[in-house]
Structure formats: structure tokens, C-alpha cells
A = this chain, B = another copy of it.
Amino acid sequence: MTPSRNLPQHRRLYEILRKHITEGIYKEGDLLPSENELCQLYGMTRPTVRQSLSTLANDGYITKHQGKGSIVHHLPREIGILSVSGTTSAVGNRNLKTRIIVKPVLISWNNDFMFPLSQLEKESGCIYMERLRLLDDIPIFYDISYIANINLPRITSRQFENRSLFKILREHYHIEIKGGEQRIKAIPASLKTSSLLHLKKNQPVLHLERKMVTNVNGLFLYSSIYCNTEKYSIFGRF
């Protein structure tokens, strides 16, 4: 069930603390146990514990302060790697729904795909899907996903409603997103995007093209995302 076995120790502790933070066991502004306490608690040495904390800090879950401790933040990191933050009110317990526009189907790659593809990817074909994601019943993201069909049995027949694509890839295929790159533009809404996102034609829309690197060698996830940023902003740390 849990993917916690046969992981390196520092990674195990990272996952434990990350879970505790995202589940709210540690709250915004709380101090994490000190490094020495974590050593005792989990039977590790300080360099190992420090490696976990260092990764957490890099991922924005904590900030470390010499002489003081590690302070918890748990704002971002929802909805895939993207996160939204309300411009008017706080985020709060968001009511997020996913609606499938085009169910996962196997197609061949477009010739002028937004990112260069490897030979293996081209030969494998492409799993294509379109989803609309709503926050409090307001359409926020129109998301077109592309995945190379490399060792993903039965993926086209899975249920994606109200479930994160990333969660499914993680739980069923042990695929983790390690990072990636993206290009961001502001463009006028096309007829299709404007109708899906409940906007007028030519209203500004945020367009992201992203390539995500996974823990599986040669397997990347691609997506083209159109965002309605009228009421919400894209939030990010760097």
C-alpha cells in the first residue's frame, strides 16, 4: 500500500514530514521538532535528517532558521504541481472538481509538438486527454495532457473524475514527478477555451506549456494548460 518501503531513509523521513504538513498535523508557523529530536524519533543520524529537511526546505514546505528551528509552511502544491490562491478571499477548503472533456485515448504525436520528442516517445504513441478543473464550480483550468505510452497498462480505462492524474500515476505506476520546465504566456481566449472557461472571446487567458520529468527514465509528461485568472492567480515559490 504505502510506498514507504525500500526507500532511502532521508526520503522516508521526507515523505513522513511532508504528509504531516499537508495533513495539517503541523500548522502554518509551527516549529518542526529539532534535528536532534528527529534523529532520536526515527533512529537516524543528523546528516540523514538534515538531508530530509533540506529537501523539504527546497520544496517550500519549511524554512530553516539558524539557532531557532524549522518553520512550517503549507500553502501550495495542490492541483498537480500548480497551485491557485484566491485574489479576493483566502484559499480555504477548496472545493475542487475535475470534469473529463476527452477521455484518455491513444493517438499518434502531432508533428509540430510543443516540445521535442525522443525516438522512443515518437514510436510509443501518445495518450491524450482533456480535462476541465473547477474550483467552487468556476472553471479554472482547461488541461490537455500528453503522455508517451511507455509501460502504462490499462491507463486509458481508468477513472479520472475527481482524481488527480498525478495521484493515479503515483499509486498505480509508481511514477513521481521530479521537476520540469514550463513556458508561460498571456493570450486571448480562443472560441473553445472561452466557452470552456466561461469567458468572452479574446479575454486574456494564461497559457502554460509544461514538460515534467519523472523518476522513470525517458518518461515525460506534457501538458498544455489554459487558466482563467480572472478571480484566481497562479501561485508559486522559487
A229 to B81, CA, bound (A): 23
Q: Is the CB of B85 within 8 A of A183?
A: yes
Judged by a CB distance under 8 angstroms, whether A135 is at the interface is no
A82 to chain B, nearest CB (A): 10
List the one stretch of A19-27, A158-166, A168-176, A185-193 in contact with chain B.
Answer: A185-193
Judged by a CB distance under 8 angstroms, whether A4 is at the interface is no
CB nearest neighbor in B for A75? B181
A205 to B185, CA, bound (A): 8
Judged by a CB distance under 8 angstroms, whether A79 is at the interface is no
A88 to chain B, nearest CB (A): 12
CB nearest neighbor in B for A180? B238
A184 to B238, CA, bound (A): 13
A151 to chain B, nearest CB (A): 20
Q: Is the CB of A206 within 8 A of B185?
A: yes
Chain copies in the assembled complex? 2
Q: Is the CB of A182 within 8 A of B58?
A: no
Contact of A179 among B87, B181, B238 (CB under 8 A): B238
A180 to B238, CA, bound (A): 5
Q: Is the CB of A185 within 8 A of B238?
A: no
Q: Mark A28-58, 1 if CB is under 8 A from B, else 0.
A: 0000000000000000000100000010001
A237 to B205, CA, bound (A): 21
CB nearest neighbor in B for A183? B233
Known contacts A58-B58, A187-B204, A204-B187, A182 near B235 by CB under 8 Å: yes
Judged by a CB distance under 8 angstroms, whether A203 is at the interface is yes
Q: Is the CB of B236 within 8 A of A182?
A: yes
For A54, the chain B residues whose CB sits under 8 A away are 54
A236 to B47, CA, bound (A): 31
For A182, the chain B residues whose CB sits under 8 A away are 235-238
Q: Is the CB of B180 within 8 A of A204?
A: no
User: Of residues 215 to 238 in A, which have CB atoms within 8 Å of B's CB atoms?
Assistant: 227, 229, 233-238
Q: Is the CB of B205 within 8 A of A235?
A: no
A229 to B181, CA, bound (A): 17
A162 to chain B, nearest CB (A): 25
A234 to B235, CA, bound (A): 15
CB nearest neighbor in B for A85? B183
